A and B are shown apart, each in its own frame.
Chain A
Amino acid sequence: MNKQVSAQEAISHIQDGMTILYGGFMGVGTPKILIDALIEQGTKELTVIGNDAATPGAGIGRLISNGQVKKLIASHIGLNPEVAQLMNTGKLQVELVPQGTLVERIRCGGAGIGGFLTQTGLGTEVQEHKQVIQVGTQKYLLELPIRADVAIIRGTVADTLGNVFYRATTKNLNPLAATAADLVIVAAQEIVDPGELDPEKVMTPCVYVNYVVGGES
């Protein structure tokens, strides 16, 4: 049950055209060594789904700068001017989703829930092409689940079984993304043996995780 592999080995399962969920908020909580390995491997035509586009030199921004991303689904791209340029020249498709809606859609994807109802975006462009459902006197938008082929996750501490603890504001999308992909790769700052990570601190139980990679910065 030892799931520890090298970053290269874990990333070798990611192929051109796949969809990747990534943890991180402005790059904080995005697994740097997995991005490094993806850049080294040169996988292309990727669809990436995460909170934001970070900046050109950080997080998922590095993968976008390197031309490996075909489509980005995120809530915010404003701090990465390269994304606007690539979008305007037709080199990158961008789909913008309200942040709370994005994370709850991912939660649904991981939890086997067929969608959820929210007032976020009612009466705005977000409502376009969506079903409006009335419950009692209140209208809601039906938002559908998101899943991906792969999730790349950054943990602070993981054990070799794949239990993960995330410190401070590195949690963000990580525990959610870890539930919503067919293949889940965790890069952690510290890898420990089973039993060394206090069960009370486990935020992602090992059942969700396929590979654990050490050496995350």
Chain B
Amino acid sequence: MALKDKELIAWRIAQELKDGDVVNLGIGLPTLVANYIPEEIQLMLQSENGLLGMGALATDAQVDPDIINAGNQHITTQKGASYFHSADSFAMIRGGHVDVTVLGALQVDELGNIASHMVPGKMVPGMGGAMDLIAGARRVIVAMLHTAKGEAKILKECSLPLTGVGKVNMIVTEKAVMEVTSHGLVLKEIMPGSTLDDIFATTEASFFLAENLALNDRKTLEGGEDGDQASNF
């Protein structure tokens, strides 16, 4: 079974994570990353409501009403987990103790700015912990679809209210993997099913091509157990 777009994004981001990383996954698409973490590495997932060492979603039999994640889901904990209050949680986040945060976005731009928390007049859910995560995490990876209703989301300049300024390090979409550098955006990889022309046509921002620009092979991405896992969604 082919990996669908969002699962492909999640799979690709999971390959960025290193053994021992403390990682905070945003709600929605970023949560899928947890399903693709390579077996050989161990992470500590941080949930900003006060948990380090988040495990899988709780089954009905495992539900403990006192244990949720920041997305209001009942979850389990892994060995070595710890609980703490919100000020400790955000000291951890703001103080640079979270290695990677993976967040969704409405728009990202050439300067590494991100708009992810509101559409004025339409959607005003509040920023939750996103602004603190963007400001404080050592590495910010954006997980999002390349376009929304045909409109580009990787822009020269974000038009929506900003959630963070100059803090995005990497953008992963179903079409492309881009890095934000001091010189601008660099296209590192073309995702399976996409082409350079396709990316040019659907990206408003200017970007450089990496010297070792890679064309990801769909067969590799779908190979073995990863392909089987995808059928769970």
Chain A residues engaging chain B, CB cutoff 8 angstroms: 25-26, 28, 51-52, 74-79, 84, 87, 96, 98-101, 103-104, 106-107, 118-126, 156, 166-176, 203
Contacts and interface: CB of A to CB of B under 8 A. Distances in A.
Interface of B: 47-51, 64-70, 72, 83-87, 89-90, 93-94, 124-132, 135-136, 161-166
A78 B131 contact: no
13 contacts: A25-B49, A25-B50, A25-B70, A25-B86, A28-B66, A75-B129, A84-B124, A98-B127, A99-B86, A99-B128, A168-B66, A171-B85, A174-B85
Interface centre among B67, B135, B161, B165 (most CB of A within 10 A): B135
A186 B16 CA distance: 44
Nearest to B64: A168
A122 B127 CA distance: 14
B192 to A, nearest CB: 33
A99 B128 CA distance: 5
A96 B72 contact: no
Given A98-B132, A100-B132, 17 more contacts: A25-B50, A28-B68, A75-B126, A75-B129, A77-B124, A96-B126, A98-B128, A99-B129, A100-B93, A100-B129, A103-B85, A104-B87, A107-B87, A118-B94, A120-B131, A123-B162, A171-B84
Given A79-B72, A170-B66, A96 B127 contact: yes
B113 to A, nearest CB: 8
Contact of A103 (B86, B124, B162): B86
Interface centre among A124, A125, A166 (most CB of B within 10 A): A124
A166 B86 CA distance: 13
A66 B220 CA distance: 55
Contacts of A100: 48, 86, 89-90, 93-94, 129, 131-132, 136
A141 to B, nearest CB: 10
B132 A101 contact: yes
A26 B69 CA distance: 10
Given A121-B135, A124-B163, A124-B164, A98 B129 contact: yes
A171 B85 CA distance: 5
